[in-house]
Structure 1
Amino acid sequence: MNIVFMGTPEFAVPSLEALSDAGYRPQTVVTGPDRGRGRGQSMRPTAVKKAAQALEIDDILQPDSVHDASFAESLRERAPDCFVVVAFKILPPSVLSIPSKGAFNLHGSLLPAYRGAAPIHRAVMNGDAETGVTTFFLEPKVDTGDMILKKRMPIGPNETTGDVHDRMMHLGAEAVVETVQLIEQGTAPRIPQDNDAATPAPKVHAEEADIPWSASAATVHNHIRGLSPIPGAWTLHGDTRLKVYRSHRLEDEAEAAHDTTPGTVLSTNGVVHVACGSGAVSLDVIQQPGKQRLDAEAFVNGYPMSAGDVLASSATASTVA
């Protein structure tokens, strides 16, 4: 088949490589423009462009806008059978209608759950024990097209969004190859989504990343790991904003946290244990501004924090002020 692969970040790379390994090497790769990165703002290619070049795929398109008529025309000239879309932009109808066998997307959830830009974040933040990937035929309305196949995977109780992301991109690659095989054989199902069962997964913004200490230990823990590594959950220690990337719940300190002001530091003896609205958590990887991330023991060895200190969310801090 004449496949056009569309993707930009690292999440899409295993799918591109798996297609090539399975004998479905795309004729064309579409990815984002090179961008200035780093202090010197040197121009760097996307992860997908670098992978395509390593696979010796010469036909690489990098449109500034997928809505330009010239982009659609360039794709028509290539007479594609199928578009494989993994972590790319929303395509307009003028582009979706081009491939003879359709266009499909890989989505990081078990649709119709978690439609939107942040399905992995939202699943981890909600404490889900399971997630997965879904391939589906693209329609103009985002994440609503008929499903082709699903693959499930567990979420460990202490896994972060980054951990799940890194496992999921390989599971997704398997789903992409299987979906292309079904499309080539003409046996790809079209399973309508139950719109009544759909749940949203909106983009996560930095302003919702402050840690809600008045919530339960389970909620606080899920919040921290769900926002790790990006944008990173944070809390205030005095005027210092600390980011927290890993944590775990403390069953043996739940009683010690009882009737304690949420956010109170319970122990800094080689650890950072903090009371929540109910129960307590251990902050395992912490970062102060301008410093590297440290495990709790290294952090307390170099940072002035004591038992009895109170960590605050932005809501708490504004109330106190």
Structure 2
Amino acid sequence: MSETTPLRIVFMGTPEFAVPTLEALLSWPGCRVVAVVTAADKPAGRGRQLSESAVKQAAVAHGVPVLQPTNLKAPDFQDELRGYAADLQVVVAFRMLPEAVWNMPPRGSINVHASLLPQYRGAAPINWALIHGERETGVTSFFLQHEIDTGNLIFQDVVPIADEDDFGTLYGKLKVAGAALALRTVQAIAAGTAPSIPQVASAELRSAPKIQKETGRLDFAQPAAALVNLVRGLSPIPTAFATLPDGRTLKVFRAQAVADKAADHAAGQWLTDSRTYLRVQTAEGQLDLLDVQLEGKKRMPVGEFLRGFNTAALNQPG
């Protein structure tokens, strides 16, 4: 490929996390995004109208052809993809690709993952880094191969995790870092200078499986500090939650750990002054709920929540 010939790229991604990377590639004259592959439109909202992915919306705005296959193994899709004659495929927050797809371009396919691989391989690396109380995470570019998130490393950038970070804020930091890393990676591949370093797995690897609903249930037999991290890792979505004594579900968006004020509270006991605080005794310390949402109601600070809530339902002394 001559220096004047842009690298032909097919971009694959779906959520808003992938949009900054697509925008970065579109802005660099050294490559040309010839097509975008994204998820099919899905019904959403009360009217169940079809909703386009964030990546599709960005691609359409830039006039880039969009492919929305329901089956990545379908011969018709693979023939259409092959017709774009991509030199490289760039994948961000998309589904697992069959070998016939990721091995199609002569320069292969690269992925940008929101962790410092080999740590936190899997679908939810941002959530799990927070849930485990990590102080830093990052983004990694690597070449795709058979096993998910195990391909040879290209580049990594570290991103510190602040005490106040939750899933929403860390997601925002990492999508920007990921876009910069992806562009640097593509530039290195175009120049023929990209490294390809096998991952070295240690015995202390942490995985990042898909978040299930029960992942968010607050278990007050755990220390308060661990529950704070769970809240951070799931806020603002899909959100940690607790079951009130009356059976209703209370979502928790923000919380802090406080020291025990008495030794006779059992884990799981609800504590409140009915005006300014709502806490739950845990195995170690108390979980002070700061920002909550009762089922069927709106999200609100705990003081506002308590003004409209009958604390007698907690059946606990203040």
TM-score above 0.5, yes or no:
yes
Between stretches 132-141 and 227-236, larger displacement belongs to 227-236
Contact 1:258/1:278 (<8 A) preserved: no
- In 2, the alpha carbon distance for the partners of 1:11 and 1:61 equals 19
Contact 1:267/1:307 (<8 A) preserved: no
Between stretches 154-163 and 290-299, larger displacement belongs to 154-163
Letter of the 1:236 counterpart: T
Letter of the 2:255 counterpart: S
After the TM superposition, which segments of 4 or more aligned residues of structure 1 sit over 6 Å from their partners? Answer: none
Deviations 1:256-315 (A, max 9, x none): 0544212323334322233221112221111111111111111111112269746xxxxx
Deviations 1:140-160 (A, max 9, x none): 210000010011111122321
- In 2, the alpha carbon distance for the partners of 1:307 and 1:248 equals 23
Letter of the 1:174 counterpart: A
What residue number does 1:229 align with?
Answer: 236
What residue number does 1:318 align with?
Answer: none
> Where in structure 1 are there 5+ consecutive unaligned residues?
311-321
Contact 1:4/1:84 (<8 A) preserved: yes
Secondary structure, in 3 states, of the residue corresponding to 2:311? coil
Letter of the 2:63 counterpart: E
From the superposition, tell whether residues 257 and 53 of structure 1 become closer, same or farther in structure 2 (CA, over 3 Å): farther
- In 2, the alpha carbon distance for the partners of 1:226 and 1:306 equals 31
Please state if 1:263 is matched with 2:271.
no
Q: Alpha-carbon deviation of 1:208?
A: 2.5
Please state if 1:105 is matched with 2:111.
yes
From the superposition, tell whether residues 39 and 148 of structure 1 become closer, same or farther in structure 2 (CA, over 3 Å): same
What residue number does 2:13 align with?
Answer: 7
1:119 to 125, 134, 140: 125
Please state if 1:289 is matched with 2:295.
yes
Deviations 1:203-226 (A, max 9, x none): 111022210111111111111111
TM-score, length basis structure 2: 0.92
Letter of the 2:257 counterpart: R
> Where in structure 2 are there 5+ consecutive unaligned residues?
1-6
- In 2, the alpha carbon distance for the partners of 1:72 and 1:25 equals 20
- In 1, the alpha carbon distance for the partners of 2:43 and 2:35 equals 24
From the superposition, tell whether residues 101 and 264 of structure 1 become closer, same or farther in structure 2 (CA, over 3 Å): same
Which structure 2 residues correspond to residues 64-83 of structure 1 after superposition, within 5 A? Answer: 64-83=70-89
Please state if 1:245 is matched with 2:245.
no
RMSD across aligned C-alpha pairs, in angstroms? 1.6
Secondary structure, in 3 states, of the residue corresponding to 2:261? coil
Secondary structure, in 3 states, of the residue corresponding to 1:300? helix
Which structure 2 residues correspond to residues 165-180 of structure 1 after superposition, within 5 A? Answer: 165-180=171-186
1:138 to 120, 141, 144: 144
Letter of the 1:74 counterpart: E
From the superposition, tell whether residues 90 and 259 of structure 1 become closer, same or farther in structure 2 (CA, over 3 Å): same
Seq. identity, %: 41
- In 1, the alpha carbon distance for the partners of 2:119 and 2:298 equals 36
TM-score, length basis structure 1: 0.91
What residue number does 2:49 align with?
Answer: 42
Please state if 1:158 is matched with 2:164.
yes
- In 2, the alpha carbon distance for the partners of 1:92 and 1:293 equals 41
- In 1, the alpha carbon distance for the partners of 2:183 and 2:13 equals 15
- In 2, the alpha carbon distance for the partners of 1:47 and 1:17 equals 12
Aligned length: 306
Letter of the 1:121 counterpart: N
